[in-house]
């Protein structure tokens, strides 16, 4: 289907997906297209109840994000919140393949992606492959049941998470490995930051941006996971388990275990799996 919108060139294509039931349960596509645009292309709407995933093949794509203008260029993917008022355009020229999706927890995943990484992500081979697959299905009017299409859309979203993570510094992966090998020691965030040659504040910001949790909470989570294994697989007393997993004392261990799990270590030990 050709598009006659201002700034959209004649060779552009626009397709709409068939409506689906259970919109609150599944991810679903709304529309997709392959656009060639010139200066003058601009969209301004109050809402479109979807997230726009726009792969910029060539040219530039500018949009407002939290009150400031950002620009994605060739080889990048821009993520746009269309549930709320939004504006996007090109200041020169643009070729892009795009997809509007809605349903399930689409907006929550958009918020997580943009807060953890950025609304502009690299267009990896896998993200392009997933996007083009969905584009082709809609273009050719090939029908999938709601669950199958939802899975394809979820896979695309997860590939965007991978793309954002891959772009982040290897220092965070190094920090995670370091924590995994040293959690039994009296490990501090400052020590891990020194290991990856960052200041504690820089390290904490980068770590939380990539993983969604603070370094301190991650260290605690690793220790508690190991403590659970020892509680279930050994008869070691609580004091030894606390020492084995890097807690300062058995009382400290019990406090954090109860705060995290809602039950005491001994009660956890008696639970049946």
Structural domain count of the chain: 2
| Cα–Cα distance for residue pair 48/51, rounded to 1 Å | 8
In a domain, residue 5? The reply is: no
Asked if residue 234 and residue 122 are part of one domain, the reply reads: no
- What's the whole-model pTM score? 0.72
Which residues have C-beta within 8 Å of that of residue 136, sequence separation ≥ 6? Answer: 142
Asked if residue 217 and residue 262 are part of one domain, the reply reads: yes
In a domain, residue 248? The reply is: yes
Asked if residue 228 and residue 145 are part of one domain, the reply reads: no
Domain finish residue from 118, 136, 167: 167
Maximum Cα–Cα distance for the chain, whole Å? 74
pLDDT at 198: 83
Domain finish residue from 147, 167, 187: 167
CATH number at residue 213: 1.10.10.60
Q: Which domain holds residue 178?
A: 170-270
Asked if residue 102 and residue 36 are part of one domain, the reply reads: yes
pLDDT at 115: 85
End-to-end CA distance of the chain: 56
Asked if residue 225 and residue 118 are part of one domain, the reply reads: no
Asked if residue 97 and residue 38 are part of one domain, the reply reads: yes
pLDDT at 3: 57
Q: What is the pLDDT along the chain (273 residues), one digit of tens a residue?
A: 555 689 999 999 999 998 877 888 899 999 999 999 999 999 999 999 999 999 999 999 999 999 999 999 999 999 999 999 999 999 999 999 999 999 989 999 999 999 888 899 999 999 999 999 999 999 999 888 899 999 999 999 999 998 887 755 678 888 999 999 999 998 999 999 999 888 898 899 889 888 889 999 999 999 999 999 999 999 999 999 999 999 989 999 999 999 999 999 999 999 877
| Cα–Cα distance for residue pair 34/55, rounded to 1 Å | 10
pLDDT at 2: 54
Nearest to 52, CA basis, from 107, 118, 109, 98: 98
The beta strands (E) that lie in 114-263 are given as 120-122
Asked if residue 208 and residue 127 are part of one domain, the reply reads: no
pLDDT at 5: 84
Nearest to 253, CA basis, from 197, 184, 194, 154: 184
């Amino acid at each position: 289907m050709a598009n006659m919108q201002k700034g959209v060139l004649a060779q552009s294509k626009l397709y709409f997906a068939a409506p689906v039931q259970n919109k609150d349960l599944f991810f679903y596509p709304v529309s997709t297209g392959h656009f060639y645009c010139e200066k003058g292309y601009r969209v301004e709407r109050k809402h479109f109840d979807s997230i726009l995933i726009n792969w910029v093949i060539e040219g530039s794509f500018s949009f407002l994000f939290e009150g400031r203008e950002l620009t994605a260029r060739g080889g990048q993917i821009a993520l746009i919140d269309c549930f709320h008022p939004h504006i996007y355009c090109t200041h020169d020229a643009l070729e892009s393949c795009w997809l509007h999706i809605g349903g399930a927890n689409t907006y929550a995943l958009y918020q997580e992606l943009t807060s953890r990484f950025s609304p502009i992500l690299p267009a990896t081979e896998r993200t392009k492959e997933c996007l083009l697959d969905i584009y082709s299905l809609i273009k050719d009017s090939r029908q999938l049941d709601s669950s199958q299409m939802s899975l394809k859309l979820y896979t695309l979203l997860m590939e965007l998470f991978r793309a954002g993570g891959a772009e982040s510094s290897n220092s965070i992966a190094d920090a995670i490995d370091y924590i995994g090998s040293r959690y039994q020691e009296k490990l501090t965030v400052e020590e891990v930051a020194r290991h990856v040659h960052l200041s504690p504040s820089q390290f904490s910001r980068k770590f939380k941006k990539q993983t969604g949790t603070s370094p301190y909470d991650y260290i605690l989570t690793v220790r508690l996971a190991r403590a659970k294994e020892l509680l279930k697989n050994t008869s070691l007393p609580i004091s030894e388990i606390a020492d084995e997993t890097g807690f300062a004392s058995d009382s400290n261990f019990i406090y954090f275990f109860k705060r995290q799990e809602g039950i005491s270590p001994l009660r956890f030990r008696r639970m049946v799996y």
